[in-house]
């Protein structure tokens, strides 16, 4: 019953928003609020306050809480890319670059990459890009796994993934698109949990310090939060490898669709002239004058159109 209810609720939102923003935000916000209430009030005082509210007031409190959770979830969803970049290690890399030093962790990963490429090439394939990207190595395991996926097509085919992946993805079979989207959800969900666990741990620990809460509770929250953050981060790695492998396979199998979908040079030239003249017709009420480039385009593709 609970599973069916969650599936119906997820249907109201995109699966990615529900699982990678709304659900974890609801859980961690509730934990933080509960810790704050327990620290500032006694359970008895909170129960008395709730009991004194009429039905309308209770409903308004519940709706306000739902709105607060949704607002936090929307803010979290808007920062998915930045959260991923945080765990990839780009902020640490930027700090090291500003200080004009190379971080010890980055140096360790470079040495680890060299070691794996000599001892276990298969493991190196999944965890690091090729040796020509040694200077681009990132200071986290997640960052290097995703970097390996991003640089694969450029190494093999000269295709820059950053620019061409958004153009290839719509051309992929629907089944492969679904597999990729599922892999994205699976690797981002643990990262959101790790991020929100860290923020919740800091807020709860600060609340206990301010209110002089029990020391044992302070220690439990710190250790528990650290364990959840570390465990969730590690859970994301295998899913990130799967996502990177799907991306690599997409370029291996379907990169030709980019070339066949791209217009010829002659097409681009005729289209440019035609659309400039069409723009003049639409915006400035110029006389229609795109017959020549349009006719050239149609004649060039007459054989492709087949009999009518």
Residue position matching structure tokens 């119906």: 8
pLDDT (tens digit per residue) in 13-50: 678 898 889 999 999 999 998 888 888 776 667 677 77
pLDDT (tens digit per residue) in 275-286: 998 999 999 998
Residue position matching structure tokens 């289209």: 271
Would you give per-residue pLDDT tens digits along the chain (308 residues)? 555 554 555 554 678 898 889 999 999 999 998 888 888 776 667 677 777 888 888 899 899 999 999 999 999 999 999 999 999 999 888 887 787 777 788 888 988 998 988 888 899 999 999 888 888 899 999 999 999 999 999 999 999 999 999 999 999 999 999 999 999 999 999 999 999 999 999 999 999 998 888 889 999 999 999 999 999 999 999 999 999 999 999 999 999 999 888 888 888 888 898 899 899 999 999 888 888 888 888 888 775 554 44
What are the C-alpha distances in Å from 258 to residues 153, 234, 248, 283? 13, 35, 15, 33
Cα angle: 25, vertex 29, 30; to 5 degrees = 120
What are the C-alpha distances in Å from 88 to residues 25, 138, 204, 292, 295? 21, 7, 26, 52, 51
pTM: 0.83
């Amino acid at each position: 019953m609970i599973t069916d209810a969650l599936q119906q609720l997820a249907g109201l939102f995109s699966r990615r928003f529900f699982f990678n923003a709304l659900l974890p935000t609801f859980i961690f916000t509730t934990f933080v609020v509960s810790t704050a209430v327990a620290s500032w009030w006694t359970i008895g005082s909170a129960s008395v306050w709730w009991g004194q509210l009429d039905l309308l007031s209770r409903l308004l409190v519940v709706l306000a809480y739902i709105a607060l959770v949704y607002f936090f979830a929307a803010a979290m969803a808007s920062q998915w890319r930045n959260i991923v970049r945080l765990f990839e290690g780009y902020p640490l890399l930027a700090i090291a670059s500003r200080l004009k030093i190379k971080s010890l962790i980055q140096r360790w990963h470079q040495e680890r990459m060299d070691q794996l490429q000599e001892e276990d090439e298969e493991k190196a394939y999944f965890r690091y890009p090729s040796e020509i990207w040694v200077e681009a190595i990132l200071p986290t395991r997640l960052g290097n796994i995703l970097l390996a996926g991003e640089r694969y097509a450029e190494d093999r085919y000269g295709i820059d993934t950053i620019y061409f992946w958004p153009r290839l993805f719509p051309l992929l079979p629907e089944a492969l698109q679904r597999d990729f989207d599922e892999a994205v959800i699976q690797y981002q969900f643990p990262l959101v949990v790790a991020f929100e666990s860290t923020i919740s741990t800091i807020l709860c620990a600060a609340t206990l310090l301010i209110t002089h809460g029990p020391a044992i509770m302070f220690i439990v929250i710190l250790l528990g939060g650290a364990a959840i953050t570390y465990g969730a981060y590690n859970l994301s790695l295998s899913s990130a490898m799967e996502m990177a492998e799907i991306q690599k396979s997409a370029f291996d199998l379907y990169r030709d669709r980019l070339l066949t979908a791209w217009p010829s040079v002659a097409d681009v030239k005729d289209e440019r002239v035609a659309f400039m003249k069409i723009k003049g017709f639409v915006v400035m009420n110029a006389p229609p004058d795109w017959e020549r480039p349009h006719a050239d385009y149609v004649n060039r593709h007459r054989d492709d159109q087949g009999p009518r």
